[in-house]
Structure 1
Amino acid sequence: MPGTTIQAISIYKLLVPLREPFVISLGPLLAVENIVVVLRTADGHIGYGECSPFLTINGESVDTCFVVGQYFAPALRGRDALDLAGNLAEMDRIIYGNCSIKSAFDIALHDIAAQHAGLPLYAFLGGSNNKILTTDMTVSLGPAAKMRADAEQFQREGFPAIKVKLGGTLEEDVARIRAIRAGIGPTHPLRVDANQGWRTAANAIAVLQALGEFNIEHCEEPILRQHFMELSQVRAASPIPIMADESCGDEHDAARLIQLQACQMLNIKLGKSSGFHRAQKIAQLGQAAGLTLQVGGFLESRLGMTAAAHLALSNPAIHHCDFDTPLMFTADPVVGGFRYCPGGVIEMPTGPGLGASIDEAWLRRAEQVHF
């Protein structure tokens, strides 16, 4: 369609300080360093996408994304924005991997496609706004006393579940969880995420068995992602259900994990899957296998997290949402998007498309390039 031809592409660096360092077993994060992609079509539609590259997970940085995005822009300019699969295939033809920057383009393309269809993005994806989305809130890795204080604060603020970053020694992590449980009580929903920090299957099993008494809902990525063949051993020996995260990037990873019976749960992120096209394939595989699914993210603003929330409404097997990182920002550059409500409830935009954009004042002062 001539009207939906991609006419102009802009790429921006979005830099926002965090309120305090966000620490996981892979290292500390001090600031938001994201990419925003803006696509414009001949008929006036504007699509927004965002990615939050993560050096230690998807091997990308804000600088690599800014450069690789400039490989994509001239190739996509002049193509039909509605050819979603074809546009992703073109990006795959240009360069292998680089799933984070691909996701920013894919989100912007889906924004345009949903606007063109006159549908909220979740409806365009085949879903409906028929369930209440709630986000957990994450306790950063640190001393047990500080982690307990943070968990108590999040409980007071009404978050329905608390996620705790772990990945230290058995003694350290048990002390952390014991302190948190002493602060929030034995029944408040609690989840843990080792971010591969326990490394080996034997070590992970020992820690998980030691944590079994603390009423933990699930554990994300207990061992090194390269050791995914051993994840089924961890699942079999763990009293806590296992959720694959870093080891599940695309639908091929999901299929392998399902075949191995490696986990009971999958964590889907647009920045790992190159965007909606592959994320939905992961969700469909997980649903067919009877797995429970979560949608999460990296350090996206409410724009990228709104995209994730649309994905969460697209499949009934998606039960958990991890959409808390925008609450850690010192400023909010997003216009529209989902809204945080009491009790961790997410209120979605219902107009056509993604329903979120970036404040023009932020874009004007950002490092940028245009095609």
Structure 2
Amino acid sequence: MKIKAIHIHAIHLPLHAPFIVSYGTYHNMPTIIVKIETDEGITGYGEAVPDEFVTGESFESTYHLLKHTIAPLLIGKNPMEFEKIHDLMNQVVYGVPAAKAAIDIALFDAAGKKLGQPVYQLIGGRYHEKFPVTHVLSIAEPDAMADEATAMIKKGYSSFKMKVGTEVMKDVERIQAVRNRVGENIAIRVDVNQGWKNSANTLVAIRSLRELNIDWLEQPVMADDIDGMVEIKSKADIPLMIDEGMKGPRELREIIHKRAADKVNIKLMKCGGILPAVKLAYQAEMAGIECQVGSMVESSVGSAAGFHVAFSKKIITSVELTGPLKFSQDIGNLHYDVPFIKLNDQPGLGVEVDEQILEELTKYKDVVL
């Protein structure tokens, strides 16, 4: 089986409501969908969600890199040679993990369809039967976040990820408001997205959070400040998760060596796709560090890829892949049994892509032959 064409679609996915994090507000999600065609008539879909603040890539640069550099390299290659194709991509361009993730995901989708197996069977087999879905609360006023949490509990959710990262004490008010409204038995995870900048600000916040039974605190300091994470971990009793600070194996080695986090957040867009994510999970497992597969607000395609990784690994104990639930229109049909997700046993990613909707949402496109 050989790759004979790669289609690249730059699209905007419409959101039900603006998605607000510490570094920006998204009114829609710019994403790039890749479709690989093979000489046997098998297709595979992948996705790149670049983010200047997380992956160091832009929407436009990722599109042009795929079109002019990466896709031409892969025509005629065997899509089942995952390791070799990653090596080829790494030889021609450093970094750009979201662009490489789009190709990687499409390769696994095509390979699974060729073999008649879901992707999780290609990377270790299924371990988990289902995962609870955590609802993500965008940054808003304290009462508004508490109101949204209350409404989501009525829909069956039992855990929340709170986006914060503005003024420290205002963020504390937000967390207190949600905890007071939902009670003690609901899980709350706090994601700062680097917004508290440094360990000093974070330790001020933690003093006010000690009695609020927080599951974990995620990436409170700047991404490269691993020593700041070490200081916080040594002085606080709230578990720490590292996200933006852990892109690949080099950072994970440092995190393990310095004991800088209790948990790591693996994102396919940060590390380069399914194969690199699996390698990170094994690396973390050897160090006894639990993992989460996190979201960059991907469509059904990218979200399904993350779920396949999560379902196949014992060390992955939580997921936050809720992108499809946030879109008013999606290109795929990934199914959630809210508040749970259960993967089907269809080959590849197990997602059907609606080509008509894909065309409707496309801003520009190209094909590389």
* Inter-partner Cα distance in structure 2 for 1:216 and 1:14: 37
Which whole-Å CA distance do the structure 2 matches of 1:325 and 1:37 have between them?
A: 18
Measure, in 2, the Cα distance between the counterparts of 1:340 and 1:314. Answer: 18
The one-character-per-residue Cα deviations of 1:186-227 (angstroms, maximum 9, x if unpaired) are: 221111000011111111122123211101100110100121
- Give the Cα separation in 2 of the matches to 1:8 and 1:325: 28
C-alpha displacement of 1:350: 0.6
Residue aligned with 1:142, SS: coil
The yes-or-no answer on 1:361 pairing with 2:359 is no
2:102 aligned with 1:107: no
Q: Are the aligned partners of 2:104 and 2:272 in contact in 1 as well (CA < 8 Å)? A: yes
User: Structure 2 CA distance, aligned partners of 1:349 and 1:55?
Assistant: 33
Aligned-pair distance for 1:141? 0.7
The aligned residue for residue 182 of structure 2 is 184
Match of 2:313 in 1: 315
Indicate the SS of the match to 1:358. coil
User: Offset of 1:295 from its aligned partner?
Assistant: 0.4
Paired residue for 2:57? 60
The number of equivalent residue pairs is: 365
1: CA distance between counterparts of 2:38 and 2:221?
44
Give the equivalent residue in structure 2 for 1:48: 45
Which digits, 9 at most, give the CA deviation of each residue in 1:46-83, with x for residues without a partner?
A: 11101211121112222111101111111100111111
SS at match of 1:353: coil
State how far apart, in whole Å, the 1-side matches of 2:127 and 2:86 are. 27
State the match for 1:349 in structure 2.
344
Please give the alpha-carbon distance, in whole angstroms, between the structure 1 residues aligned to 2:207 and 2:300.
36
1:333–1:130: structure 2 CA closer, same or farther, 3 Å change rule? same
Aligned to 2:156: 158
For the residues of structure 2 that align with 1:215 and 1:363, how far apart are their CA atoms? 43
The answer on whether the counterparts of 1:36 and 1:48 sit within 8 Å (CA) in structure 2 is yes
Partners of 1:62 and 1:168 in 2: CA distance: 25
Asked if the contact 2:166–2:195 (Cα under 8 Å) also holds between the matched residues in 1, the reply is yes
Scaled by the length of structure 1, the TM-score of the pair is 0.95
1:160 Cα deviation from its structure 2 partner: 2.3
Query: Do the aligned residues in 2 keep the contact of 1:49 with 1:105 (CA within 8 Å)?
Result: yes
Task: Give the secondary structure class of the aligned counterpart of 2:282.
Answer: helix
Once residues 327 and 238 of structure 1 are traced to their aligned partners in structure 2, the CA distance between those partners, rounded to angstroms, is: 34
CA-atom RMSD, angstroms? 1.3
Deviates more, 1:113-122 or 1:252-261: 113-122
3-state secondary structure, aligned to 1:240: coil
- AA aligned to 1:244 is I
Aligned counterpart, 2:144: 146
By how many angstroms is 1:230 displaced?
Answer: 2.2
Paired position in structure 2 for 1:297: 295
In structure 2, how many angstroms separate the alpha carbons of the residues matched to 1:130 and 1:324?
A: 18
Report 1:218-229 matches (<5 A): 218-229=216-227
Structure 1 position 275 matched with structure 2 position 269: no
% of aligned pairs identical? 31
Partners of 1:126 and 1:320 in 2: CA distance: 18
Select the residue among 306, 323, 329 that pairs with 1:331: 329
The runs of at least 4 consecutive aligned structure 1 residues that moved more than 6 Å come to: none
* 2:340 is equivalent to residue 340 of structure 1: no
Which of residues 5, 8, 25 in structure 1 aligns to 2:5?
8
In structure 2, the partner of 1:198 is 196
Corresponding residue for residue 29 of structure 2: 32
Identify the match of residue 20 of structure 2 among 15, 20, 23.
Answer: 23
- Give 1:96 deviation, angstroms: 1.0
The counterpart of 1:81, out of the listed 79, 82, 85, is 79
Cα deviation, residue 129, structure 1: 5.1
Q: Write the letter of the residue equivalent to 1:83.
A: E
Residue among 227, 234, 237 paired with 1:236: 234
Contact 2:330 2:357 in 1 (8 A): no
Q: Is the Cα–Cα contact under 8 Å of residues 209 and 239 in structure 1 kept in the other structure?
A: no
Q: C-alpha distance in 1, partners of 2:249/2:280?
A: 5
Deviates more, 1:310-319 or 1:356-365: 356-365
Partner of residue 209, structure 2: 211
SS of the residue 1:226 aligns to: coil
Contact 2:202 2:232 in 1 (8 A): yes
How far apart, CA to CA, are the structure 1 residues paired with 2:79 and 2:299? 24
Q: Counterparts of 2:351 and 2:159 in 1: how far apart (Å)?
A: 26
- Which deviates the most, 209-218 or 109-118? 109-118
- In structure 2, C-alpha distance between the alignment counterparts of 1:160 and 1:199, rounded to whole Å: 29
Contact 1:122–1:129 under 8 Å retained in 2: no
Q: Secondary structure at the match of 1:272?
A: helix
Runs of at least 5 residues in structure 2 that lack an aligned partner in the other structure: none
Q: Which amino acid aligns with 1:99?
A: P
Aligned AA (2:345): T
Unaligned runs of 5+ in 1: none
